Structure 1
Amino acid sequence: MIDAVGNPQSLFILGGTSDIALATAHRYAEQRPLRIVLAVRPEEADLAEAASERLQQTGSTVTVIPFEARKPETHREVIDKAFADGDIDVTMVAFGVQLDNEKSWTDPDAAQLVADVNYTAPVTLGVLIAEKLRKQGHGHIVAMSSPAGERARRTNFVYGSSKAGLDVFYSGLTYALADSGVKVTVVRPNFVKTKLTEGLKPAPMAQTPEQVAEAIVGAVNKGKEQVWVPGQMRWVMTVLRHLPRVIFRRLSF
Structure 2
Amino acid sequence: MKDAFGAPQSLLVLGGSSEIALATARRLVARRTRRVYLAGRPSPALDAAAERLRGLGAEVDTVVFDALDPASHEEVLGKVFAEGDIDAVLLAFGVLGDQAHDEQDPMAAVRVAQTNYTGAVSAALVCGAALQRQGHGSLVVLTSVAGERARRENFIYGSSKAGLDAFTQGLGDALHPCGVHVMAVRPGFVRTRMTAGRPEAPLSTTPEAVAAAIESGLRRRAETVWTPTALRPVMSALRHLPRPLFRLLTTPR
User: Smaller-chain TM-score range?
Assistant: over 0.9
Partner of 1:165: 163
1:21-60 equivalences under 5 Å are 21-42=21-42, 45-60=43-58
Read off the aligned partner of 2:126 and give its amino acid letter: L
Partner of 2:13: 13
For 1:219, which of 217, 228, 231 is the aligned residue? 217
- CA separation in 1, counterparts of 2:26 and 2:55? 10
Partner of 2:127: 129
Displacement after TM superposition at 1:169 (Å): 0.4
Partner of 2:200: 202
Q: Name the SS for the 1:63 alignment partner.
A: strand
Q: Is the 8 A contact 2:7 2:33 kept in 1?
A: no
Partner of 2:86: 88
1:247 aligns with 2:217: no
1:196-235 deviation digits (Å, cap 9, x = unpaired): 1111111111111000000000001100000000000000
1:149-171 deviation digits (Å, cap 9, x = unpaired): 01111000000000001000011
Q: Is the 8 A contact 1:33 1:58 kept in 2?
A: no
Displacement after TM superposition at 1:252 (Å): 3.4
- CA separation in 1, counterparts of 2:72 and 2:172? 25
Q: Is the 8 A contact 2:10 2:33 kept in 1?
A: no
Q: Is the 8 A contact 2:183 2:222 kept in 1?
A: yes
- CA separation in 2, counterparts of 1:66 and 1:112? 23
Q: Is the 8 A contact 2:20 2:207 kept in 1?
A: yes
Structure 1 runs of 4+ off > 6 angstroms? none
- RMSD across aligned C-alpha pairs, in angstroms? 1.0
1:3-23 deviation digits (Å, cap 9, x = unpaired): 221211100000000000000
Displacement after TM superposition at 1:33 (Å): 4.5
Partner of 1:140: 138
Read off the aligned partner of 1:9 and give its amino acid letter: Q
Q: How many correspondences in the alignment? A: 251
- CA separation in 2, counterparts of 1:128 and 1:240? 34
